[in-house]
Structure 1
Amino acid sequence: MKKHVVIFEARGGSDKGKYGFRKDSKPIIDSLKDRGWSAEIIFYQDEDRGEIYRHTIDKADAYISRVNPGNLKNETGYFQMLKELVNNGVEGLPHPDAMVAYGAKNSVEKLKGTDIVPDDVYTYYDFDTLKEEFPKSLKKGVRVLKQNRGSTGEGIWRVEVLNPKPNGSRIPLDAKLKLTEARDNHTEEKTLQEFLEYCIKYLEGENGMLLDMPFLERIKEGEIRVLMLRDNVVNIVHKKPADTKDAFSATLFSGAKYRYDKPEQWPELVKSIKGSLRTIQERLGNYDLPLIWTADFILDTDKKTGEDRYVLGEINASCVGFTTFLELSENIADEVLALLDAEEAVNSRWAAFKK
């Protein structure tokens, strides 16, 4: 074995420290070093793809991908490189296809009808389907429409019909909508036709897609983010939206308040997600679970039993951060060790820092 791990990052973004790399990447390197491993950070860019590929094939047993695809001009080349690395024996943490399967918004739709996702969830890939189906969906009540890409709540809209009429099977195109974006909880009004046309931009490109879900009123009680290390729940973040009239966003930027809890404080939620892991794997392509990933849940009330139900709203697996609990790097190093059993030798050629 080569006994070396490469951590891929992308330049730019708000998650970087003063040296340009993620604040929670170097702790992984330090934890690996403490265990006799080597690791380095490489900034991916398309111009250097060939050289980065050859370097990784030559030096590494595994890569850890910590790239937000939104920080790349075009993510196609990056995923192609990762697939070639995996095909040629480099362990993918995670596998590139698993990154896509878990990170795309349609992962939620693929899990509908399970204990954690209701049946009333849809995805749209083209404008004609959106225009035909979304007005029917709106007839059922307030909806949340999410673009496939984006971060910090951008392109996530709470959609409510103003003065809905009781008759008819669908909302007319001239109906007025109240729209609230999760990015900053701002509201605006558009007709349904105007909003549908506005959403065309979310459907463009290779990964264009919109996820349509019912709005859950209990989001006011908070969104619960479960931080996973493969199949282990390692931390839970309770994110309560700002206490203002239209707020539903759980992002810090929008004014949400975060609380960090231990898994044992949420026994029913932990039981729910642990019990769903096999189904999640099967429905999302039967890949190994990502090394670090998150699942976001919202409380709902089961209409039949009146009991609490945790509903999955989103999965993230591309570049999950853990700056609030850097000690997790120890667990990550142990997990990698269990996979590869390597020893340390830092290669500084591509590194984002100097020792």
Structure 2
Amino acid sequence: MSAQQRQVAILFPADPSRGLETDLHQSRHAETAAALGAAGVEVIGAPYADQFAEDVQARLLNSDGVLVWFNPVEAGRDRRVLNGLLRDVASKGVFVSTHPDVIDRIGTKEVLYRTRHMGWGCDTRLYTTPDAMHSDLPASLRGGSRVLKQIRGQSGEGVWQVTLADQARSPSYALPGDAIVRVRHAKRGSPEEIMPLAAFVDRCRIYFRSGGAMIDQAFQPRITEGMIRCYLVGDRVEGFGEQLVNMLYPAPSGSSSDQAPLPGPRLYYPPNRGDLQGLKDRLENQWVSELCAATGLTQSQLPLLWDADFLYGPKDASGEDTYVLCEINVSSVHPFPPSALGPLVQGVVNRLSGA
């Protein structure tokens, strides 16, 4: 059967006032739907909320595939109901991008720990309990400032910079039983606070609920130079985004934390941007395959559209940039560069035809 005879659903958040009648062609996914239609793919909308799960499931079972654009944690919700629905329709032969199992493997910040030995990694630790965090964090703080991140979160929620309050001590200094730390939340305007480590761990206990955990990474001083987002379709880089971020960006000397600069706009670039070809080459020819090996995925299981965010690491011996993975986004990647739309459509067509 040709792709022209196949149907794909686009799953996106339902408008609370319109429910299942939310119009796909009035949503931010209208351009994607139109491009798929122009390629001969029939596209239907699947506006989603948990209360419509059975109706949406029926729509998906009548389709050959579903592209999921649904933020997993936005507005305090979770994906338990949706994930069960998607796993069920996938088991019945509907291709799902991105499948919940793939999200679990590469779409949470635990991937930073799983891939810490790769070329995009840095000194990274995983705490699965508050007690482990209280016990082991002091040792990592001896090496300098750290960034603590809950494994599921967005927009800086649950992301903290932590530094020993007394940095004058030598690395061999035996920390007291409850070190004093400086902490600052990543939300813009959050003040720096000084507190005992135990108090900070207590504040973080919420992130360990329901199987949660915390990632501990070395702070990257070049954060002030911005973040590079690489957009991939399958295993190919199809565009870039660049943004001056403000999470944990220091305020001007002598200013209060709420004077930290606003984030700049995210600017989009095609995949042939000259100064990022080294990063593109490493992703396509090394890091993506290493990511799959580290997480037990095949390259055919990679999302049809996903992105990887990188901070600048220290310059290497030859003066070239290095890159440190900040996070991977696989569940609600939008907007994306115009250069990625054609490859995304072709990826859908290929998936439908079994290519």
Same fold (TM over 0.5): yes
Q: Does the Cα contact within 8 Å between 1:62 and 1:92 map onto a contact in 2?
A: yes
SS of structure 2 residue aligned to 1:333: helix
- For 2:318 and 2:339, the matched residues in 1 are separated by 40
- For 2:94 and 2:261, the matched residues in 1 are separated by 37
SS of structure 2 residue aligned to 1:204: helix
Change (3 A) 1:326 1:83: same
Change (3 A) 1:306 1:192: farther
Q: Could you tell me which of 228, 252, 257 is aligned with 1:224?
A: 228
- For 1:225 and 1:170, the matched residues in 2 are separated by 40
TM-score (norm. length: structure 2): 0.84
Q: Does the Cα contact within 8 Å between 1:182 and 1:254 map onto a contact in 2?
A: no
Instruction: Give the deviation of 1:172 after TM superposition.
Output: 3.5
Aligned to 2:57: 53
How many residue pairs get aligned? The number is 330
Aligned to 1:280: 291
Instruction: Give the deviation of 1:183 after TM superposition.
Output: 2.0
Structure showing greater relative contact order (alpha-carbon pairs closer than 8 Å, 6 or more residues apart): 1
Counterpart residue identity of residue 263, structure 2: G
Stretch moving more, 148-157 or 61-70 = 148-157
Q: What does residue range 250-265 of structure 1 map to in structure 2 within 5 Å? A: 254-264=262-272, 265=274
Aligned to 1:124: 127
2:140 corresponds to 1:137 = yes
- The CA RMSD measured in Å over matched residues stands at 2.9
Stretch moving more, 71-80 or 88-97 = 71-80
**What are the Cα deviations for residues 275-321 of structure 1, in whole angstroms up to 9, with x where unaligned?**
21111112122142111111111122267666432111111101011
Q: What does residue range 1-355 of structure 1 map to in structure 2 within 5 Å? A: 3-11=6-14, 23-57=27-61, 59-71=62-74, 73-118=77-122, 120-164=123-167, 165-166=169-170, 171-172=175-176, 174-189=178-193, 190-206=195-211, 208-241=212-245, 244-245=251-252, 254-264=262-272, 265=274, 266-274=276-284, 275-287=286-298, 288-301=301-314, 307-322=320-335, 325-326=337-338, 328-341=340-353
Change (3 A) 1:167 1:271: closer
Change (3 A) 1:116 1:194: same
Change (3 A) 1:313 1:62: same
Instruction: Give the deviation of 1:260 after TM superposition.
Output: 2.6
Instruction: Give the deviation of 1:341 after TM superposition.
Output: 4.3
Instruction: Give the deviation of 1:44 after TM superposition.
Output: 2.3
Aligned to 1:346: none
Q: Does the Cα contact within 8 Å between 2:142 and 2:171 map onto a contact in 1?
A: no
TM-score (norm. length: structure 1): 0.84
Q: Does the Cα contact within 8 Å between 1:145 and 1:157 map onto a contact in 2?
A: yes
- For 1:78 and 1:258, the matched residues in 2 are separated by 30
Counterpart residue identity of residue 140, structure 1: G
Aligned to 1:347: none
Stretch moving more, 35-44 or 325-334 = 325-334
- For 1:114 and 1:45, the matched residues in 2 are separated by 38
Identity of aligned residues (%): 25
Structure 2 unaligned blocks of 5 or more: 17-21
- For 1:305 and 1:253, the matched residues in 2 are separated by 32
Change (3 A) 1:77 1:253: farther
Instruction: Give the deviation of 1:32 after TM superposition.
Output: 1.3
Aligned to 2:19: none
- For 1:35 and 1:78, the matched residues in 2 are separated by 28
- For 2:132 and 2:178, the matched residues in 1 are separated by 18
Change (3 A) 1:140 1:73: same
